[in-house]
Chains A and B, each alone.
Chain A
Amino acid sequence: MRCSAGFAIATCTVLLAAGSARAFDDAQYPDLHGQWIGVRENPRGAQPSFDPPQLWGTTQSAPLTPEYEAMFKANLEDQKIGGQGTNATSTCLAPGMPMVMNAHSPMEIIVLPDTTYIRVDHIRDTHRRIYTDGRDWPQDMVPGFDGYSIGRWIDTKGDGRYDVLEVETRGFKGPRSYDASGLPLHRDNQSIFKERIYLDAANPNLLHDDLTVIDHGLTRPWTVHKSYRRNPDPRPIWIEYVCAEGQQLVWIENTSYMLSADGYLMPTHKGQTPPDLKYFKK
């Protein structure tokens, strides 16, 4: 017995050495593999709205300041006559946060021990990095459309498995809007987003994102609830989205023009004057 105990202890030591590399047990984390498709709650269709039950192209009950409500309405008027308003993605600029979480295109989540990645290929291939390695906010954040995200996994049920990812995101550049209607965020880019991302308690193929916006274009924090359904196909098809492909809009003198099918400039609305060609020799 003493010999077998010694052997077992020796085995322990060997296994301890073998196991000393970083251990990532993905059983600790919720299964977020696969392809997630945004749940569209508004039956009237059109583009996905930031607040899913609300109609796209309205204020969606956003608590906008008077200034930003006026900006939004002016944007809608411009779009009515063929302009693009405050929708920056018309130039193939990144949607950024929070618009990327509308999941115009399917979403993929990759969980690794120190970082959770969220990928949505819409307008451009967005890869959010949510750092879960315990870091603090850096002193100098390089501003980005996606912002800088720090998160932490929480075991809310105390069952030894993480079930909620809490995320805070800061550090933006712009312009950004909540969705393609041009509902604008403040141009000071001081937005803060707080999220709780978790699987549905009754349905592991339904993902929730409770997203709170803190922004100077709002009179108070605004919380929306977004959901995503997992594609049951274990080998889903991922369609490549290339905004520039077939992009017919060009911006000259801060005004949008279109390219006709034969590649020539044309107006986007009735009565639009052509661009000034003053830099060309006559």
Chain B
Amino acid sequence: MRREGPIIVCPGQAANWARSLLRAKSGLPDFATKRGRSRIYPTSTGGGLGRGVVVVPRSLVAPPSPPHKGAGGGPRPALSSIALVIAAALLLSSTASAQESKYPNLRGQWERSGPVAWDTKKPPGRGQQAPLNAEYQTRYDASLAEEAKSGGQTYNPQVRCVPPGMPRAMIGYEPIEILVTPDITYMRLHFMGEFRRIYTDGRDWPAHLAPTYIGTSIGHWIDTAGSGRYDTLEVETRGFKGPRLIENTGIPLHLDNQTIIKERIHLDATDANLLHDDVTLIDDAFTRPWTVTRDFRRRPQAVWIEYLCSENNNLVIIGGESYFVREDGYLMPMGKGQRPPDLRNFAQPGTTGRE
């Protein structure tokens, strides 16, 4: 009697069946399914080896060859047909995994490997030797002086919980998560909750870019080793708003926000848990492009702690000056001798604090 209904083939079992088919002359087991379409069931746990189940229509399986007398005598099942079905099933199941396996494994939690200075190989502040032009070097010097004098941070928008944006987001003050999909590679930057979208769908730069702190990124994957697998993500980012700094000492980017950032993101050739980001900054505040490499190390166990800048942020800026709000909620000075804020907008006389 002709068997009806589809056949389920487990790739993990297929090799076993292939071996048994060489030895035995029995047909395939019959599993009942509800519909006769081909489908693939992935495993539910991430990171394990795929042992997807493939369902193929029975119609793909050729009927057994008529028995004939040969060296071994007796009936011979259609081994070629069955094997081809298995091959097709495996090809189907491997398509999805091939799609995924052609990208490097960037899952997990990436922590910066090194200090928070932009160029981790140099001391912070002036030691960075940022290639600033004269105008922006003057601005930078003023920021350094403010901080040295009173701990003031008026130059640093981040203290008001304005996000750092690019390129500073790639310092990785808090861990980073990377999600690779065919059209977009996402970067979740835990610090300040920034989110990068790197479009890898072949799009061109739009005629109009809505300016953002994080910019708009277009990238493409490259197979530099000719291995059939992508190993490098090249990215260009434009379309900014500001002000933005490069790092916490206040190295400034130009206020025209015409920054262009080029990156090559790739795993280390010998350590799959070390990620490199070769970053080149092109900015009108600089006398030349500035290239550094930022490294990130994958944690064996990801623990994601929520980061909220505005939670317990005790710094306020009033009238262009920085003040602290104490634990008890009262305002206090940030530096010795700092005058209280001007209360000109309040009606009560004698409460300006400046008598």
Contact = CB atoms under 8 A, between A and B. Distances in A.
A127 B191 CA distance: 12
B52 interface: yes
Contact of A113 (B46, B76, B316, B345): B46
Nearest to A255: B329
Contacts of A240: 210, 212-214
Interface residues on A, range: 35 or more
A115 B46 CA distance: 9
A142 B305 contact: yes
B18 A13 contact: yes
A22 B50 contact: yes
B66 to A, nearest CB: 12
A74 interface: no
B67 interface: no
B148 interface: no
Interface stretch (B245-253, B266-274, B347-355): B347-355
B197 interface: yes
A253 B316 CA distance: 13
Interface in B45-96: 45-50, 52, 55, 65, 76, 79-80, 83-84, 86-87, 90-91, 93-94, 96
Interface in B7-62: 11-12, 14-15, 18, 21-22, 34-35, 37, 39-50, 52, 55
A113 B317 contact: no
Contact of A21 (B84, B87, B97, B333): B97
B173 interface: no
B11 A92 contact: no
A242 B214 CA distance: 11
A204 to B, nearest CB: 18
Interface residues of B, number: 93
A12 B90 contact: yes
**Chain B CB within 10 A, most for which of A2, A20, A25, A238:** A25
Nearest to A119: B195
Please report whether the interface of chain A is mostly helix, strand, loop or mixed according to DSSP: loop
Interface stretch (A50-58, A190-198, A212-220, A243-251): A243-251
B127 interface: no
Given A12-B14, A251-B325, A263-B320, A94 B47 contact: no
Contacts, number: 253
Nearest to B216: A238
Contact of B345 (A1, A13, A243, A264): A264
Contact of B342 (A4, A158, A159, A264): A264
Given A16-B11, A265-B343, A277 B306 contact: no
B337 interface: yes
Nearest to A280: B340
B304 A244 contact: no
A194 B314 CA distance: 35
Contact of B331 (A13, A27, A264, A275): A275
Given A134-B44, A134-B45, A267-B345, A244 B160 contact: yes
Interface in A60-108: 91-94
A46 interface: no
B200 to A, nearest CB: 13
A266 B305 contact: no
A210 interface: no
Contacts of B332: 279-280
Given A114-B46, A265-B345, A19 B11 contact: yes
A2 B80 CA distance: 7
A1 B91 CA distance: 21
A209 B18 CA distance: 46
B339 interface: yes
Contact of A125 (B50, B160, B193, B348): B193
B5 to A, nearest CB: 14
Given A25-B52, A265-B346, A19 B42 contact: no
A110 B179 contact: yes
A39 interface: no
Contacts of B160: 244, 247
Nearest to A278: B330
Interface in A102-139: 110, 112-115, 117, 119, 121, 124-127, 129, 132-134
Contacts of B49: 20-22
A117 B179 contact: yes
B50 A23 contact: yes
B129 interface: no
A250 B318 contact: yes
B287 interface: no
Interface of A: 1-2, 4-5, 8-9, 11-13, 15-16, 18-28, 91-94, 110, 112-115, 117, 119, 121, 124-127, 129, 132-134, 142, 144-146, 158-161, 173, 235, 237-240, 242-245, 247, 250-254, 259-260, 262-267, 272-282
Given A16-B14, A280-B338, 14 more contacts: A8-B83, A12-B83, A15-B91, A26-B96, A114-B46, A129-B304, A160-B35, A244-B310, A264-B343, A274-B348, A279-B332, A280-B332, A280-B333, A282-B353
24 contacts: A1-B79, A5-B80, A8-B80, A9-B79, A12-B90, A16-B11, A19-B52, A22-B97, A25-B42, A25-B52, A28-B39, A93-B311, A113-B42, A113-B43, A117-B179, A119-B195, A127-B195, A133-B46, A145-B308, A237-B210, A240-B213, A252-B329, A264-B341, A274-B343
Pairs A-B, 5 closest by C-beta atoms:
A114-B46, A19-B94, A8-B83, A5-B79, A266-B345
